Amino acid sequence: MNIIENIRMALRSIRSNLTRTVLTCLIIAFGIMALVGILTAVDSLKASIYSNFSTLGSNTFSIRQSGLNMRRHGGGNDEKASPPILFEHAKLFKDRYTFPAKVSVSTMATMIATVKFNSEKTNPNIGVWGVDENYLEATGYEISEGRFFTFNEVQTGVSDVVLGNDVVLKLFKGITDPINQFVSINNMRYRIIGVMKPKGSSMVRSGDNTVYIPILNAIRYYRGPKASVGVSVTVENINQLDYAIDEAIGLFRGIRGLQISESNNFEMTKSDAIANTVVDQVSYVTFAATIIGVITLFGAAIGLMNIMLVSVTERTREIGVSKALGATRKNIRMQFLVEAIVICQIGGLLGIFFGILAGNGVSLLIGGNFIIPWIWIIAGIIFCFIVGLVSGLYPAIKASKLDPIEALRYE
């Protein structure tokens, strides 16, 4: 008896015991759906993280106040925050850094601003960032209308603003040209000189729900002179990135007045290192999802084994007839094994399908991308095969050992 015939017999048996088979398939499907769904969402989230951080470029590094990072690897005490990086420190660094690179200085002014234009206004959830003239090159953002700040505008801290795309849509609704119009940000008047290209959301912030003002303006009206700022450096040649970081460390140590014996009181971070740190935290979810899926599949395996044992008992006479007609122990054993594997594969395919839908649904809600997780699809099929094999082995062996005479008399 070949494998095709065994599969046909398994399908006929499934149809004759449809209710039990459907319940077993659903148990397996929920286990696979939990596993594939969560892992699909995690993979999509990781891809989104790397995509968002890649806009900074692999040739970019940042200088930040240390001690403000998330706790790494889920353990250890929080690092004590270092003294803030003042704007005057960042400006000295920008003026003195002679390496072939672009230096940008920026700071977050507020994340709860309200922007008004005539009778229209936004919710109080607009991010306001103080930036300099090199900000676009350091972040990969682009202007769609108007222009960005000039060197002189940054130095004087004029009341000009560049709006994110979402802010423009909320205030102007495509009716009025926003360039050279005036808006109110937290009751302060600003002239619009540019509009950003749509960027989308990330785990860090929404680039489209943000407005940008000169950094001196942000320090003057929002943060104050003692606020900490960030410095981003984009190196022209990626092969010289490590040399650029070494030179930046030496220069910034001098600006901060550190002695040779003192450790750095600031943090140098490559753009991809930030993404790796976030992904490390997300990886714990992958581990938890795998455990949940395995436990669910273990329960499904027990349920399937129980059903197969019941099936052996109910089909004792059928097994006796098959043996009387010449079926060997191997034939009987293979028949029941294939039946268990087919049931598992049906449940597994259902679980994979709904898992992909659920995982990508969650991913789209948090701003991720739609992906087809081929690795988890293949892994799900393999898991189901193993579960079917393990669950069906004992019932198949029991069925193959039945005495044909006793089986024919059973009723």
Q: Give the helix/strand (H/E) hosting 62.
A: strand 60-64
User: Quick one: pLDDT at residue 117?
Assistant: 92
pLDDT at 155: 92
Given this model, what pLDDT does residue 168 score?
A: 93
Of 18-22, 105-109, 396-400, give the range with the top mean pLDDT: 105-109
Distance CA(87)–CA(93), nearest Å, equals 10
Domain end, chosen from 215, 239, 265, is at: 265
Domain count, the chain: 2
Q: How confident is the model at residue 72 (pLDDT cuts 50, 70, 90)?
A: very low
**Is-contact 174 216, C-beta < 8 A?**
no
Domain end among 265, 291, 306: 265
pTM beyond 0.95, yes or no: no
Which residues span the domain enclosing 169? 83-265
Residue 1 has pLDDT above 90, yes or no: no
Give per-residue pLDDT as tens, 74-122: 444 455 678 899 999 999 999 999 998 889 999 999 999 999 998 899 9
Q: What is the pLDDT of residues 292-308, one digit of tens each?
A: 777 877 777 787 788 77
User: Which residue has better confidence, 145 or 280?
Assistant: 145
| Residue-level pLDDT at 75 | 46
Residues 283 and 367 in one domain: yes
My answer on whether 107 and 11 are in the same domain is no
Q: Mean of the per-residue pLDDT values for the chain?
A: 81
pLDDT above 90 (res 179): yes
Cα 305 to its chain centre, rounded Å, is 37
Instruction: Note whether residue 337 is domain-resident.
Output: yes
Residues 384 and 283 in one domain: yes
Domain termination residue (choose one: 244, 265, 286): 265
**String of b and e for 186-215 (b: at least 16 CB within 10 Å)?**
beeebebbbbbeebebbeeebbbbbbbbbb
Is the domain of 284 the same as that of 246?
no
For the chain, give the percent of residues with pLDDT over 90: 28
Query: What distance lies between CA 263 and its chain's CA centroid?
Result: 34
Answer yes or no: do 120 and 156 share one domain: yes
Kindly state whether residue 293 falls inside one of the protein's structural domains: yes
Residue 144 pLDDT > 70: yes
Q: Are residues 306 and 162 in the same domain?
A: no
- The residue with tokens 């729900």 is 209
Instruction: Note whether residue 142 is domain-resident.
Output: yes
Secondary structure (DSSP) of 56-110:
T-TTEEEEE-TT-SPPGGG-SPPPPPPPP--HHHHHHHHHH--SSEEEEEEEEEE
Q: Do 255 and 318 fall into the same domain?
A: no
Q: Are residues 136 and 208 in the same domain?
A: yes
Question: Is 251 part of a structural domain of the chain?
Answer: yes
Instruction: Kindly state whether residues 255 and 369 are assigned to the same domain.
Output: no
**Contact in structure between 97 and 233 (CB atoms under 8 Å):** yes
Q: From CA 131, how far away is CA 105, in angstroms rounded?
A: 6
